[in-house]
Amino acid sequence: MLLRIRSRDGLERVQVGGPHVSISQLKALIESQLQIPIHNQTLSTDRNLLLAKTPADLLRFTDMSDPSRPLSSLNLSHGSVVFLYYQGERTVRGGPPVCPAGSFGRKMTMDDLIAKQTRITRQESPHCDSVSFDRDSANAFQRYVNETLAFAVKRGGFMYGTVSEEGRVEVDFIYEPPQQGMEDDLILLRDPEEEKLVDAIAAGLGRKRVGFIFTQTIMQDKKDYNFSNKEVLQAAELHAESGLKEWVTVVVKLEANEDGDADVHFEAFQMSDMCVKLFKEGWFVTEFGEDDDPKLSKMKKEVVVGGKDVKEVDNDFFLLVVKIIDHQGPLSSTFPIENRNNLATMRTLKNHLDRTKSLPFVKRIADFHLLLFLAMSHGLGSDVPALAECVSTETAVPEGYQLLIESMANTS
């Protein structure tokens, strides 16, 4: 669990074991991580602590004076802010020694106050140079959301591929997790065990998770935004979770062309570093009301945008456009895709193998969705990553595996 510690030096972070930790244990962690002696610390959940001028002022802040009191009793959880007052001199991590003027802190100037505020500006360039889609994979996704779902409900998936040293992302397949799509919201019903298998198969194929793709519905077409506030929040969460600076988020939507017909469009973005940072630190309001403007993200406290203190930020401030290109990757995308209405069966597997019987066996199984079907349905989970490596290196599949898969298909 991470707590944010606000002192006269600004905002710092301390890792703690969880909400069961006592105040005395928290003080010990602050001493070890921030180099402030325990006897010198006064803690409170009240921000007015930082305005104390005399020892008598400090005595008013008693909510964290009991050393045995657990953090949970103060409703402190991951991302919560605790205010810290201390005397003396210390070295802030990554900064020069801090020495206040006088015994009880120095007087704050207007420049000091402005420096403490969080400014949101447009990031100049993304970390991702471009994103290239495997044509078959991209077509399989857009065809489903267009022809089957008719863009009436949202749909999403995790993109897997590679990242070059130059920051170019190549997407070779899309994994669609269990989910509930609505007109203006997308709830991912994530299955950790399934995702472990997905990541293991991807690793065998020499690929990793590189981004997220989602659709906007025709009901959103009239809205004046690239991402809604809900979409910004979800994209920032997944970007933060990934730990990948080149992580890319792609939106697929219908747009009217000059003839009045509708075309499917792919648009790629990166969430800005500031957006991901603010999400990690818990700045975003995560509850949405019917009257909220979807093109604005609400902040829990004021930030500076364009020289003004605001609590609502235009979503576009958080988005960086990424160029889209395409390529023909080594994998096919013809096997039924997981977690859709058209569930794959043994008959599906047999039809797929019969249709591709003129190819070497390693080419017949060179489909991520087929490999996931084998891993999920028939207890081959620990063996499928080895099959994936055969696909990646284009080496012959061991005869035992081939016979087992063919016999499974023939049981249909």
The 10s digit of each residue's pLDDT in 32-74 is 988 899 988 999 998 888 777 778 888 899 999 999 999 999 9
Instruction: Specify the pLDDT at position 116.
Output: 55
**What confidence score (pLDDT) does residue 102 get?**
38
Give residue 4's pLDDT band: very low, low, confident or very high (50, 70, 90): confident
Confidence of residue 95 (pLDDT cuts 50, 70, 90): very low
DSSP per position, 14-43: EE-S-TT-BHHHHHHHHHHHH---GGGEEE
Q: What is the pLDDT of residues 26-42, one digit of tens each?
A: 999 999 988 899 988 99
Q: Residue 92: its pLDDT value, please?
A: 54
Domains, the chain, with CATH or none: 2-86 (3.10.20.90), 120-327 (3.40.140.10), 346-410 (no CATH)
More confident residue, 339 or 378: 339
The overall average pLDDT reported for the chain is 89
Mean predicted confidence (pLDDT) in 343-363: 95
Residues 6+ apart with CB under 8 A from 229: 288, 292, 293, 294, 295, 296, 297, 298, 315
Q: What is the pLDDT of residue 103?
A: 39
Contact between residue 5 and residue 47 where contact means Cβ atoms under 8 Å apart: no
Summarised one tens digit per residue, pLDDT across range 199-216 is 999 999 999 999 999 999
Distances in Å between the Cα of 286 and the Cα atoms of 174, 219, 230, 283, 298 are 27, 22, 8, 9, 8
Average pLDDT over residues 109-121: 64
**What is the pLDDT, as a whole number, of residue 55?**
83
At position 387, the amino acid (one-letter code) is: L
Please state the rounded mean pLDDT for residues 233-246: 97
Look at 52 and 194; give whichever has higher pLDDT: 194
What is d(CA 110, CA 18) in angstroms, rounded to the nearest whole number? 37
- Six-digit token string for 249: 């988020």
Q: In the prediction, which pLDDT does 105 show?
A: 47
Question: Which residues make beta-bridge pairs with 161?
Answer: 171, 208
